[in-house]
C-alpha cells in the first residue's frame, strides 16, 4: 500500500511539472516566436501606445465614427471581464426594446439613409465583444460618416474596401470590417 501511494505521488509530481510548467512554457515560447502579435493579445498601437485589441470590440457612439455591434456585457459596453451573450429569446421584451432603440438611434443620426439596416448593427454577438461588423454594416454607415467628417463618400468607401477582410479560407463566414481599425484609419485622414 505504501509503495502504491509513493508511486502515485511521484506520478502526480511528474505530471504536474510536465503539464503545469514545461508544456505551458514550451507552447508560450513557440507562440512568441511564431505568432508574437497574436500571442500578445493582437494589440493595436497608435503613436507608440496601445489603443485596443483587434479581438475585442470598443464602444463608439459618436456620429463621425463607425459603430460596432451592440454589446451584451451589461452596463459598461464591451467590458471584457463580463463577456457573455444576452441569452434573451427573440420574443423577450427587453431584446425587442433594445433592438427598437438601436434602430431609432441609427435612423436619428442618418435619417435620409435609404439602405436597409443590417442585422448585425441591431443585434449582439455571442460574446458581446465582437470587434467586427459586416461589410454591409460598414457600407450602411458610410454616408453618415462621410457627411459628418466632411470627406468624399468615395474616400470613405475606399477605406472600407481596404479594411474589409475576406471569408476565412474563402468560404467560412462573411466579409467583415474591424471597427477600431477602420475608425483609426479615419482619424489618420483628418
Quick: pLDDT tens for 81-117.
777 777 778 888 888 888 899 899 999 999 889 999 9
Buried b (16+ CB within 10 A) or exposed e, 12-35: eeeeeeeeeeeeeeeeeeeeeeee
Tracing cell 465614427 back to the chain, one arrives at 65
Residue 119 DSSP one-character state: G
User: Structural domain boundaries of the chain?
Assistant: 2-36, 42-189
Cα–Cα distance, 164 to 182 (Å, whole number): 9
Cα–Cα distance, 141 to 155 (Å, whole number): 13
User: Pick from 189, 187, 190: which is nearest to 51 by CA?
Assistant: 187
Cα–Cα distance, 92 to 127 (Å, whole number): 19
Segment 124-138 shows an average pLDDT of 88
Tracing cell 485589441 back to the chain, one arrives at 53
pTM of this structure: 0.81
Cα–Cα distance, 54 to 38 (Å, whole number): 9
What mean pLDDT value characterizes the chain?
A: 89
Tracing cell 457627411 back to the chain, one arrives at 147
Cα–Cα distance, 103 to 70 (Å, whole number): 11
Residue 75 scores a pLDDT above 90: no
Residue 40 scores a pLDDT above 90: no
Amino acid at each position: 500500500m505504501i509503495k502504491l501511494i509513493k508511486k502515485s505521488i511521484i506520478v502526480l509530481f511528474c505530471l504536474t511539472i510536465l503539464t503545469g510548467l514545461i508544456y505551458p512554457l514550451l507552447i508560450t515560447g513557440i507562440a512568441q516566436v511564431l505568432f508574437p502579435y497574436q500571442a500578445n493579445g493582437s494589440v493595436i498601437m497608435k503613436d507608440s501606445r496601445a489603443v485596443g485589441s483587434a479581438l475585442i470590440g470598443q464602444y463608439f457612439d459618436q456620429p463621425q465614427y463607425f459603430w460596432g455591434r451592440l454589446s451584451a456585457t451589461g452596463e459598461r459596453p464591451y467590458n471584457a471581464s463580463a463577456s457573455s451573450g444576452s441569452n434573451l429569446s427573440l420574443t423577450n421584451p427587453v431584446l425587442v426594446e433594445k433592438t427598437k432603440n438601436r434602430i431609432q438611434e441609427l435612423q436619428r443620426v442618418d435619417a435620409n439613409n435609404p439602405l436597409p439596416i443590417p442585422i448585425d448593427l441591431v443585434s449582439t454577438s455571442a460574446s458581446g465583444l465582437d470587434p467586427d461588423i459586416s461589410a454591409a454594416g460598414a457600407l450602411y454607415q458610410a454616408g453618415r460618416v462621410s457627411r459628418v467628417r466632411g470627406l468624399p463618400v468615395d474616400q470613405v468607401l475606399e477605406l472600407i474596401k481596404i479594411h474589409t477582410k475576406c471569408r476565412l479560407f474563402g468560404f467560412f463566414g462573411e466579409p467583415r470590417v474591424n471597427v477600431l481599425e477602420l475608425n483609426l484609419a479615419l482619424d489618420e485622414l483628418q
